[in-house]
Amino acid sequence: MAKYYAPVFLVVILIVGWIVAGLGERDLYRESATAERSIHAYDDPTTPIKDISITAYYFVPANKAADAPDSSWKEPLISALDDLKRFHEIQFAGLSRISYTIYPTAIIGKNPNIFYDTDLTERGNPHALESITDEIAASGSAASVAPGAYRVAYIIYDGVGASGTNHAALINRRFLVDPAYGGTRESLAAHEFYHTLGIPDGYDLATGTSTTADLMGLGRTTRPLKENYLERGTLAHLGL
Amino acid sequence: MINNKLFALIFGSPMRNRFVLFFIALALVPTLALGITAIYFIDLSHRLDVAALETQLIDQKIAEIKTFFADTQGAMDIRVAFEQKSEIERSQQAFLLKGLLSENKAFREVRLENLAGIVTAKDTRDGDAEQSTQTNLPEQSTGGLEDVSRLPEFTAPKGGASYIGPVRETLEGPMITLAMPVHNRSGDIIQVLAADISLARLFASIGKTQLGQSGYVLLFDRDGVLISSPFQTPALGGGFSQRERVAHILGGGMLSGTETKDLYESYVNKAPVIGAGKRVPALGWVILAEWPVADANSVIDDLRLEVLELTLLSIAAVLLLAPLFALRLTRPIHELGRAARAIEAGKLDTSIAIKTGDELEELGEQFNTMAKGLKRLQELRNEFVHIVTHELRAPITAIKYAAALLKDGTVGTLNEETKKLVEPIWVSSNHLVNLVNDLLEVATSEAGKLRIAIERIALAPIVQEVCEELRSFAGERHVELKYDAPAGAAPLPLVFADTTRVKQVLMNFVSNGIKYNRADGTVTIHHEMTPTEIITHVTDTGKGMSAEEQAHLFEKFYRSAGNDKKIEGTGLGLFIAKDLIEKMGGTVSVASTLGEGTTFSFSLPRTTA
């Protein structure tokens, strides 16, 4: 009969162990895994924009070099870039971040402003952007960026227009300092920056009629950056 | 050794084991069943309670959201008093917008749009201040402040529908755009009223919602974007529409909080949570209440622990008490067994005291009665044997004496034929006398009538006397009788014994040694001293005995199967010798090796001198 002791006690211990360890405990439900989100340039999953590195330049045409401010051009630029950083972090849910450096001195162009400017500023001034970026690159002033970071050249220009294309944006310095642009100046600056990621305009270039209410459309001129946003549809093209 | 005894004490009784297992099974099955059932139902009840609390909280939050939008849209539901199908006067538009801003703090910007999609007036709140900035299109102006004709916030209300835009994250907090048609008295749409609404206070209220210590509420919009969370992290963005739970609710389902899949790892903090969720009607948002398991179950864990402790305590008590109960039941039976063995060993005055107040006590009393009966029977038998042997001894002795006279020729010379007849008479009568004497000795002893006078005596003279008396007998058998008396100055210490009885024992041992010896053998007597005893050894050079024979040697009427039947003996001599030595406080033993001989020994208590 003693031989039954061990099995009986084993059964008791097992039952008690089961009560202690598992009775009433439910298993954690495991959801099927979803693909990791990858934040990338507009409609370009091969170009990650997790880290965006901006190098900002102040570019002055040769004929305006004498009138260029000594260092006061930096302050509004820093303010605009800081606002852009915060805005970007909110819009991208922290999945993409901006860092920036400012080229310390103004870059004096080789040509007068007539060379860079155009009469057709409805489309920004892509000619100036192209010419100036080429000139900066040729001068050896282009800053190096961290490996893997998405590189952006952001140019404050003592001329006319505002424009943006992949990896480069240009904005008339007046937009940042003229009181006429008031509360929307940071929105304008940000609008041009987002073109560097490939985001298109949210308005009809021919008529000027907005097709979106966000920063890329109506919001660029009607809302301050702190109340602005990027539309869901736009963010979806960026991997969000 | 101790472990063996302990093991025997615990497991050595099959009946007790059976009782123990029976008790354990009988007590543990209901205890465990009760514990398991209690824990199961406590857990089930708690699970339903948690789900009910979560659902109740969700319903409260849905009501809060609905109230917020009902208030906001109610304020924007404008129907002008005139019937003309024209826009409101510009001056009135400004007044109307100012009123809206002051009425509801959630309005950040309000604007009126004409049916061409041109903003004709707008009023923007300056931060949280009461002041606002108005921008109005001058009366009769054909231009516009802004062209919104292609935006859904205009096209939907122009078609008669209310517009609720997506929630958008801004540096000022979560915002939403609402737009509604403005009607004239006839119900015609004359303008569109759009407003940017701050959701910060609504979401703050939802974010502060707490279940227990750490439960919280998450809010997703109709695109599956997380728009409200209590965690101080940036908004987590979209992508949740593809997640199983959010997709399920967006598809019209709900999470009850009671299903298996409602216990999961939270999307936002990766903690195991119990979740319930519903869809917010009209808005299509998803609201999820998540309660970390550790917190939600803290109460139930305590309760489960208490039930568990109680169950374990019961089990421990059963395991502890079952052997005691079994022992209580089996002890009288073991007492009966022990007493039965004592009676088997001849201890007929054995009695047991069982005080259980039941059939076992009754059985114990019957056992004692039986033992008394047996003792009385033995006393009667002993008395009978004593009387019979006493009465037989005189006539048998007379017969033996007469046969001796005839055999010896004292009463005349017998012819050979008569001698042959007298010889068996003499042998038989001699055997009968010895038998009767031995039986009388045994009966006297068992009747407690044997008289032994203990005194200080010297062993050596007794041994020498016995040797002298048996020397001629030994000579007849060609056996040498040797006594290794203690030599030197130190004499053998005295012993406490009866001289007659010691001599009787020695006579028995030595005569046996002679009788069962081989021709030319020896019988040697020597002593051994211990601090308390003197042991006397009688060693012969006979054929020895097996261990089996040695084990029964001192039993009454035992005669070894290998004995020469011609050798006289009653089978009582060694029994009597053992009885006498033990009555004098000593012990008797035998050591024998087949083919080598046998040593009988007896010990007697010695004096210290």
A92 and chain B: CB distance < 8 Å anywhere?
Answer: yes
H or E stretch including B576? helix B573-583
Give the strand pairing for B173-183 and B163-164. Answer: antiparallel
- Site of tokens 């969700």: B58
Inform me whether the C-beta atom of residue B275 falls under 8 Å from chain A C-beta atoms.
Answer: no
Average of per-residue pLDDT across A13-34? 74
**How far, in Å, CA of A91 to CA of A225, rounded?**
12
Contact yes or no for B509/B582 (Cβ under 8 A): no
> In degrees rounded to 5, what are phi and psi of residue A170?
-135, 140
Largest CA distance in chain B: 189
| Amino acid letter, residue B210 | Q
Cα–Cα distance, B435 to B389 (Å, whole number): 9
Contact partners, residue B407, CB within 8 Å, separation at least 6: B419, B422, B423, B426
In sign, the C-alpha dihedral spanning B65, B69, B70, B72 is: positive
Residue B196 Cα distances to A80, A112, B168, angstroms: 24, 45, 10
B431 backbone dihedrals φ, ψ, rounded to 5°: -65, -40
In a mutagenesis test of the A interface, which of B20, B50, B151 is the best target, namely the one with the most A β-carbons within 10 Å? B151
Q: What is residue B567's predicted lDDT score, i.e. its pLDDT?
A: 64
Provide the greatest CA pair distance for chain A.
112
Q: What is the pLDDT of residue B129?
A: 60
Mutation target for B interface from A9, A19, A186: give the one with most B CBs within 10 A: A19
- Mark A90-128 as b/e (b = at least 16 C-beta within 10 Å): bbbbebbbbebebbeebbbbeeebebbbbeeeeebbbbb
Cβ contact A92–B260 (<8 Å): no
In whole angstroms, what is the distance from residue B230 CA to residue B224 CA? 17
Identity of the residue in B39, B146, B153 whose CB atom sits nearest the CB atom of A23: B39
Q: Do A211 and B18 touch (CB under 8 A)?
A: no
A42, HSE (Cβ side, Cα atoms, 13 Å)? 17
User: pTM for the whole thing?
Assistant: 0.65
Distance between CA atoms of residues B505 and B587, nearest Å = 12
Contact B148 A94 (CB under 8 A): no
- Cα B252 off chain centre by: 53
CB contact under 8 A, A24 and B40: yes
Interface test with A, best of B28, B118, B128, B168 (most A CBs within 10 A): B168
Q: Which residues 281-310 in chain B show a CB within 8 A of chain A?
A: 300, 304, 308
DSSP type of residue A160: S
- B261/A contact by beta carbon, under 8 A: yes
Residues of A in contact with B316 (CB under 8 A): none
pLDDT, tens digit (0-9, with 9 covering 90-100), for B394-451: 888 888 888 888 888 888 888 888 888 888 888 888 888 888 888 878 777 777 777 8
Measure CB to CB from residue B169 to each of A1, A90, A218 and give the nearest one. Answer: A90
- Report how many Cβ contacts below 8 Å link chain A to chain B: 140
Angle, CA of B544, B550 and B551, to the nearest 5°: 165
Which has the closest alpha carbon to B484: B599, B577, B606, B605?
Answer: B599
Rounded to whole angstroms, the Cα distance separating A174 from A73 reads: 10
Distance in angstroms (rounded) separating the CA atoms of residues A27 and A33: 17
Please identify every stretch of chain B with a pLDDT value under 50, giving residue numbers as ranges: 1, 234-236
Among residues B183, B176, B175, B177, the alpha carbon closest in space to that of B154 is found at B177
Q: Contact B25/A8, CB-based, under 8 Å?
A: yes
DSSP track, B242-283:
GSHHHHHHHTT--B-S-SGGGEEE-TTT--EEEEEEEEETTT
Whether A19 and B32 lie within 8 Å, measured CB to CB: yes
CB of A21 less than 8 A from some CB of B: no
CB contact under 8 A, A16 and B312: yes
Cβ neighbours, 10 Å, residue B534: 22
Give the one of B14, B151, B237 whose C-beta lies nearest to A240's C-beta.
B237
Say which of A26, A93, A240 has its CB closest to residue B260. A26
Query: Cβ of B166 under 8 Å from any chain A Cβ?
Result: yes
A11 reaches B (C-beta below 8 A): no
Residues in chain A within 8 Å Cβ distance of B315? 12, 16
Pick from B150, B169, B309 the residue to mutate for testing the A interface (most A CBs within 10 Å): B150
A-proximal residues of B, 417-456, CB under 8 Å: none
CA distance B306 to B323: 26
Closest CA in chain A for residue B155: A211
Three-state DSSP class for B323? helix
Cα–Cα dist B101/B113, whole Å: 17
Written in H, E and C, the secondary structure of A186-234 is HHHHHHHHHHCCCCCCCECCCCCCECCCCCCCCHHHHCCHHHCCCCHHH
pLDDT confidence tier of residue A142, bands split at 50, 70 and 90: low
Distance CA B597, CA B127 (A): 126
Helix orientation angle between B14-76 and B200-207, rounded to the nearest 10 degrees:
170
Contacts of A26 in chain B (CB under 8 A): 260, 263
pLDDT of residue B1: 47
pLDDT at B249: 94
Residues from chain A contacting residue B236 (CB–CB below 8 Å): 93
Q: Is B245 left (phi over 0), alpha (psi -120 to 50) or beta?
A: alpha
Of B35, B109, B170, the CB nearest to A228: B170
pLDDT: is B506 or A122 the higher one?
B506
The residues, any chain, with a CB within 8 Å of residue B606's CB and separated by 6 or more, are B493, B494, B495, B496, B529, B530, B532, B533, B534
- Choose among B219, B281, B286: nearest CA to B67: B281
Inter-chain touch B243–A34, beta carbons under 8 Å: yes
Q: How far is CA A77 from CA A52, A55, A176, A190, B171, in A?
A: 17, 11, 7, 11, 19
Residue with tokens 């001129």: A221
- Three-state DSSP class for residue B37: helix
**Min Cα–Cα distance to chain B from A154, Å:** 22
Return the DSSP state at B162. Answer: -
Tell me how far apart the alpha carbons of residues B295 and B366 are, in angstroms, rounded to a whole number.
Answer: 68
The verdict on a CB contact (< 8 Å) between A232 and B265 is no
CB distance B88 to B112 below 8 Å: yes
